[in-house]
Amino acid sequence: MADTTTNETPLVDVRHLKEYFPVNTGFFKSTPLKAVDDVSFQIKRGETLGLVGESGCGKTTVGRTILHLYEPTDGEVVYDGRPIKTKEDIKWFRTKSTMVFQDPYSSLNPRMTVSDIIGEPLDVHHMCSNAKEREERILKLMDRVGLNSEHASRYAHEFSGGQRQRIGIARSLAVDPEFIVCDEPVSALDVSIQAQVINMFDELQDQMGLTYLFIAHDLLVVRHISDRIAVMYLGKMVELADAGEIYDHPLHPYTKSLISAVPIPDPKIARANKRIPLQGDIPSPLNAPSGCPFRTRCPYAQEKCGETMPAFDEVSPGHFVACHRVAEING
Amino acid sequence: MALLEVKDLHTSFFTDAGEVKAVNGVSFNLDRGETLGIVGESGSGKSVTVYSIMQILAPAGRIVSGSVKLDGQELVGAGEKVMRDVRGNKISIIFQDPMTSLNPTYTIGDQLMEAILLHTDRTKQQAWDRAVEMLRLVNVNEPEKRMKQYPHEFSGGMRQRVMIAMALACEPDILVADEPTTALDVTIQAQILELMQKLQKELGMAIIMITHDLGVVAQMCDEIVVMYAGSYCERGTADEIFYNPKHEYTKGLLRSIPTMSTMGQKLQPITGTPIDLLNLPKGCPFAPRCEAAMKVCIRQAPESMVINADHKASCWMNVKAMAEKLGADATSNALEQGLSLEEALAQGAEAEKQGLEATVTYVEESSYIRDEELRSARTQAAEDVARSAGDPNHPFGDHGADLIGDAGLMDARGAGSRILKQSERAASHGEKGGEE
Ligand SMILES: Nc1ncnc2c1ncn2[C@@H]1O[C@H](COP(=O)(O)OP(=O)(O)OP(=O)(O)O)[C@@H](O)[C@H]1O
Ligand SMILES: Nc1ncnc2c1ncn2[C@@H]1O[C@H](COP(=O)(O)OP(=O)(O)O)[C@@H](O)[C@H]1O
Ligand code: SF4
Ligand code: SF4
Ligand SMILES: [Mg+2]
Ligand SMILES: [Mg+2]
């Protein structure tokens, strides 16, 4: 199995993770939808791993399955050396990990005050011995994310998108997590607000030593915040490398195309940019192609690509690619 | 004459909570074959601007004042008959969300044919052929088969391409695209943008591209209008806006986005929260969030100023920069004349202060600057600057008015600076003359 970190013990070790959803495809017929299909990677303590790929490729499912919000169909997650298997393991893991969601509008209950929202996980995990401690913790969390203490008794709907995302993050931090799955946490925010929230993620990581799995479709945001970046296609991981490396030297044909498509906010670069257009649409995960999942759109596809799924190999130190022809294409 | 000329457009929504001034004085021109980008944060009035042009505003909305000319014809007040023709044959729009703009209960073919039959004189068979042709044009594979499918059988990218096909069915002069790719993946977005560029070349239409994505703008647009709180901050060529921004909001926006080179650095966010249109501040709408804001910004909205032939901006900083330049000019002139560094700096500082004050004081006092008043303001400003250089008797009056003419405020400042130099030269001649 590919070990995607060097030397150190990873904080999060994802091994051959699979998540299949049963989908009705006719009378009494059910076909597994392979949302995540044999994915392995590691995340170091204090690191940010970016996760990118087209809509529906399985990013959210990877995040939720790691956290055991979905029961994995197969494979395992080892957290800080402890395999997450039993109910006890999961309960323990929940005190170490949490998730931040995309939509700051729908993920907060509008009828709860800010202090109730942030306090809820404290109550669920019995983390405070009395009301005073509870209040202190809530105010400290609000301070962490740059919210005013006067905001505590106000309702979520009274806040702007950026502020709501702060409330959501304060709530996530309540359990004092080490590991956070951030699922498109800035996508719903206006550009001018995005930068505030991105900086906050940065600062919280510095202060609290947090480890992030950062899912986003804006590749410039991901590049900005991530140490390493993983690229998914149709439930499979196709490339993983340092953030700079993957932009400067993408090796997988899909990654090359993806990165060439990023609109660069600089007219001269944007005009000179040679895009590598992708033909057709992403296939339905219900009938994914045999062999390499990308072969129906890959300009380099050959017969062997339809026969076997290419292995996720380390082609240069820390750079992993799943492509039969990686050497020829980049030779 | 430009294809589309929008001048000082004001649109409001009259709601129970009060008048929402969604668009406050937007102006731009659009030529054939050109792509204009409208950028700004959500709620800044981008959509309402184009809905006003097409007159498809929600019932509470009304164009309050301003002019929209298409091929020289005034559209404001032209009546519904004219507008129906405009919308059918001259300006088409692609909306942000393709799912809500396609009817889920009709086939793609039915919807395309309906659009074609509505806007052109074709038989059903001809409309069918045309629809198939349009689908092929936007790279939908197996178009004959696709005609019989329903929207839910299409992916997001395909639905958006169908919307483009539908918008192009009437061969418009102007294609308005309101955030056409916001909901799409980057690879699909690249496909759609490239398709729009290709069709533009083939059909020669103009495009108005509304987006909050500066990357999309950089790739697509010749000209850019930046909006904030319904007002326009600046407009100019893409290169001017990106490489020479002259409004603090645009500068802040460009600083706040991650780029290829911000990795490992802190972004510089725009602070504060977005504007509340029901409570617009009196001066510059961006002042509450602007780190460079000066007193004048809070009291008086900045006028649009000419930066250069390709660029206009509404920000007091440009006046300040001009005053600073006057100061620097005065300093270097004084040095050239052999004054001590201390004296030269003092003279420069005085010229700068006077230049700024002269402009600002006047502008503060007038509620709305009419041309006549503006002219005398400029004369007054130039006068003060010249005086500050130590030559109160310089006969610049007539000369100054000539120089100032009808040009923009910046020209006036430039004139002020020239007058200043002249007066300095005159002064130094005088000194030299005395020595000789
Ligand atoms: N609960 C579920 N039941 C059935 N199918 C599901 C379920 N959740 C996700 N899927 C399917 O699994 C695949 C991966 O979904 P996922 O939400 O992980 O994608 P994603 O990469 O996060 O996409 P996006 O960028 O749109 O958020 C998709 O085909 C999706 O339709
Ligand atoms: N039907 C309406 N009634 C009242 N206000 C509206 C209506 N439509 C738009 N507005 C207001 O006009 C302003 C500009 O909106 P819009 O042009 O849609 O912004 P955007 O720049 O995001 O496209 C916003 O403050 C919005 O709330
Ligand atoms: S394995 Fe084959 S089809 Fe897949 S990416 Fe490589 S060349 Fe393309
Ligand atoms: S006019 Fe003043 S407040 Fe407005 S953007 Fe310019 S400097 Fe800032
Ligand atoms: Mg998702
Ligand atoms: Mg809009």
The interface pTM score, or ipTM, of the predicted complex is 0.83
Q: How many angstroms separate the CA atoms of B312 and A211, rounded?
A: 46
Q: How many angstroms separate the CA atoms of B287 and B295, rounded?
A: 9
> pLDDT-derived band of residue A7, with 50, 70 and 90 as boundaries?
low
B308 CB near ligand 2 (under 6 Å): no
CB-CB contact of B301 with B284 (8 Å) = yes
Do A264 and B238 lie within an 8 Å CB cutoff?
no
User: A38 versus A3: which is more confidently predicted?
Assistant: A38
Length of chain B: 436
Length of chain A: 331
E strand or H helix at B350:
helix B341-365
- Characterize the bridge pairing of strands B174-178 and B91-94: parallel
What is B85-102 written as a DSSP string? HIIIIIEEEE-S-HHHHS
- The proportion of chain B whose per-residue pLDDT surpasses 70, expressed as a percent, equals 80
Q: Is residue A220 helix, strand or coil?
A: helix
Closest to B299 measured CA to CA, from B385, B361, B344, B250: B361
pLDDT score for A5: 54
Q: Tell me how many residue pairs between chain A and chain B have CB atoms under 8 A apart.
A: 131
3-state helix, strand, coil in chain A (%, to 5): 35, 25, 40
> pLDDT-derived band of residue A260, with 50, 70 and 90 as boundaries?
very high
What tokens were used for A313?
């190999």
Q: pLDDT tens-digit profile of B193-250?
A: 888 898 899 888 999 999 988 999 999 999 999 999 998 899 999 999 999 999 999 9
pLDDT score for B38: 96
Nearest Cα of chain A lies from the Cα of B158 at a distance, in angstroms, of 8
Mean pLDDT confidence for B4-8: 94
Give B-chain residues touching A221 at CB under 8 angstroms.
258
pLDDT score for B370: 35
What residues does each domain of chain B span? Answer: 294-435
pLDDT score for B403: 32
- The proportion of chain A whose per-residue pLDDT surpasses 90, expressed as a percent, equals 62
CB-CB contact of A52 with A232 (8 Å) = yes
User: B239 versus B415: which is more confidently predicted?
Assistant: B239
Indicate if the pLDDT at residue B356 is higher than 80. Answer: no
Phi and psi angles of residue B229, each rounded to the nearest 5 degrees, phi first: 50, 45
Q: How many angstroms separate the CA atoms of B234 and B226, rounded?
A: 5
What is B311-349 written as a DSSP string? EEE--HHHHHHHHHHHHHHHHHHHHHTT--HHHHHHHHH
> Which residue of chain B has the CA closest to A197?
B269
Do B269 and A195 lie within an 8 Å CB cutoff?
yes
Whole-angstrom CA distances from B359 to A155, B287, B301 are 46, 19, 14
What residues does each domain of chain A span? Answer: 12-293+302-330
Phi and psi angles of residue B197, each rounded to the nearest 5 degrees, phi first: -65, -40
Indicate if the pLDDT at residue A282 is higher than 90. Answer: no
pLDDT score for B270: 86
Indicate if the pLDDT at residue B390 is higher than 70. Answer: no
Q: pLDDT tens-digit profile of B392-409?
A: 343 333 333 333 322 333
pLDDT score for B323: 75
Measured distance between the N- and C-terminal CA atoms of chain B, rounded to whole angstroms = 59
In eight-state DSSP terms, residue B30 is E
Pick the range with the lowest mean pLDDT from A6-15, B125-134, B245-254, B363-372: B363-372
Pick the range with the lowest mean pLDDT from A249-253, A320-324, B358-362: B358-362
Pick the range with the lowest mean pLDDT from A59-63, A100-104, B418-422: B418-422
pLDDT score for B97: 67
Do B269 and A199 lie within an 8 Å CB cutoff?
yes
Q: pLDDT tens-digit profile of B64-77?
A: 999 999 999 999 99
Highest mean pLDDT among A117-131, A161-175, A296-310: A296-310
Selected for mutation to probe chain B from A47, A266, A269, A298 (highest B CB count within 10 Å) is A266
Return the CATH superfamily for domain A12-293+302-330. P-loop containing nucleotide triphosphate hydrolases (3.40.50.300)
pLDDT score for B359: 56
Phi and psi angles of residue A182, each rounded to the nearest 5 degrees, phi first: -105, 110
pLDDT score for A279: 77
pLDDT score for B99: 60
Mean pLDDT confidence for A233-253: 95
A298 CB near ligand 3 (under 6 Å): yes
Phi and psi angles of residue B312, each rounded to the nearest 5 degrees, phi first: -130, 145
Instruction: Give how far the C-alpha of residue B165 lies from the chain's centroid of Cα atoms, to the nearest Å.
Output: 28
Which residues lie closer than 8 Å to A140 by C-beta, 6 or more apart?
A: none
B52 CB near ligand 2 (under 6 Å): no
Give A-chain residues touching B187 at CB under 8 angstroms.
54, 257-258, 261, 278
User: B202 versus B363: which is more confidently predicted?
Assistant: B202
Instruction: Give how far the C-alpha of residue B226 lies from the chain's centroid of Cα atoms, to the nearest Å.
Output: 4
Give the distance (Å) from ligand 4 centre to CA of residue B295. 10
User: A87 versus B330: which is more confidently predicted?
Assistant: A87
**Atom 6, ligand 3: which residue's CA is nearest?**
A323
pLDDT score for B181: 80
Do A195 and B256 lie within an 8 Å CB cutoff?
yes
Q: How many angstroms separate the CA atoms of B301 and B364, rounded?
A: 9
Could you tell which of B228, B247, B318 is best to mutate to test the pocket of ligand 4, judged by most ligand atoms within 8 Å of the CB? B247
Burial class (CB in 10 A: 0-12, 13-18, 19+), A232: buried
Of B188, B216, B274, nearest to A160 by CB-CB distance is B274
Mean pLDDT confidence for B170-183: 86
